[in-house]
Amino acid sequence: MQSVQQRLPSLIGDPIAFAHRGAKAHAPENTLEAFALALRLGANGLETDMWRTADGHIVLDHDGIVKRWGRSRPISEVPLTALPSHIPTLEKFYEEIGTDFHFSIDVKDEEAYESIVRISSESSFDLSRLWLCHHKVDVTVRNRGIYPDVRFVDSTRLSRMKEGPERRCSLLLEHGVDALNMHHSDWNGGLVTLAHKFELFAFSWDMQFEHVMTNHFRMGVDAVYSDYVDRLVDVYSAEVGHVPTKSQPG
């Protein structure tokens, strides 16, 4: 990737530095310990995947699979009481970690939207900082119309946009979707500018190396996701001019 020399403006005054699965590189992923550590290290956003248990509880886990006694079962088939103790519920997450951050959720169960929004609201989480991601654009568009107070993110890859990025951005704008989220290797300065032209935030994930982070901040992306919160905060400070803050999206 060619180095970007001058930082282009983002739509968000202070971009979001999301800690992927908490401080995954520093603590067991998706645990309360990892999320708390990520905030202490300076992230202003947290990221996780969410599933619904057999008895309707919303829990934070990546794979959505429980392994016990040599068997693997999906979380959707397991009641909360049978889950390992390190998998927190959403209520426990807010109780222990608080609410002063942006929160990116990869929604793995399409029936979980209502519970996620309700629990977040009841926990006094600012819904304008709640970013709900899904890999199916039709699911995102449908739920955008149901839950107007939260943020919706189309998580995809450039190769999956059969209609092309301009038409995808037009569709997202038409339906009020807030952000386009792609792997860092899919983004370039032109595509970031295209997303911004359609009033979409540009989110970029899998940022593990300093030079990649640097280039994307200079492209003007609005949020980055990384396992390495320490590296992310260092690059953020160098490129943005200060440590991540809890500012609101523009």
Is the pLDDT confidence value at 248 over 90? no
| pLDDT mean over 114-127 | 98
Phi, psi for residue 37 in degrees, rounded to 5: -65, -40
141 C-beta neighbours (distance < 10 Å), count = 18
> What average pLDDT does this structure show over 240-247?
85
Q: What are phi and psi of 153, to 5 degrees?
A: -130, 125
- Give tens-digit pLDDT for 1-13: 455 566 788 998 8
Q: What is the pLDDT of residue 250?
A: 54
Helix%, strand%, coil% for the chain, nearest 5: 40, 20, 40
**Which of 19-28, 135-144, 221-230 shows the lowest per-residue confidence on average (mean pLDDT)?**
19-28
pLDDT digits (tens, 9 = 90+) for 79-120: 999 999 999 999 999 999 999 999 999 999 999 999 999 999
DSSP state of 89: B
**pLDDT above 70: residue 33:** yes
Q: Looking at per-residue confidence, does 117 or 24 come out higher? A: 117
The string of pLDDT tens digits covering residues 159-195 is: 999 999 999 999 999 999 999 999 999 999 999 999 9
211 and 228 in contact (C-beta within 8 Å)? no
Helix (H, G, I), strand (E, B) or coil at 41: helix
Structure tokens at 133: 């991601």
Helix (H) or strand (E) holding 117: helix 113-122
User: Quick check: 150 and 130 in contact, CB under 8 A?
Assistant: yes
The CATH class of 16-240 is alpha beta
> Which sign, positive or negative, has the C-alpha torsion 227, 193, 197, 161?
negative
Share of the chain above pLDDT 70, in %: 96
Q: How far apart are CA 25 and CA 163, in angstroms?
A: 36
Which position has the token pair 């995808």?
Answer: 168
What's residue 114's pLDDT? 97
Task: Tell me what pLDDT residue 13 has.
Answer: 82
DSSP characters over 203-244:
EEE---SHHHHHHHHHHT-SEEEES-HHHHHHHHHHHHSS--
Domain ranges in the chain? 16-240
Write the pLDDT tens digit of every residue in 60-87. Answer: 999 999 987 678 999 999 999 999 999 9
Determine the average pLDDT of the residues in 33-43. 97
Q: What distance in Å separates the CA atoms of residue 139 and residue 132, rounded to the nearest whole number?
A: 11
Average pLDDT over residues 220-229: 97
Coil vs helix vs strand at 192: helix
Taking 60 as the threshold, does the pLDDT of residue 58 lie above it? yes
**Alpha-carbon span 110 to 174, nearest angstrom:** 22
Cα 211 from chain centre: 21
Q: Is residue 50's pLDDT more than 70?
A: yes
Question: Average pLDDT for residues 112-134, to the nearest whole number?
Answer: 98
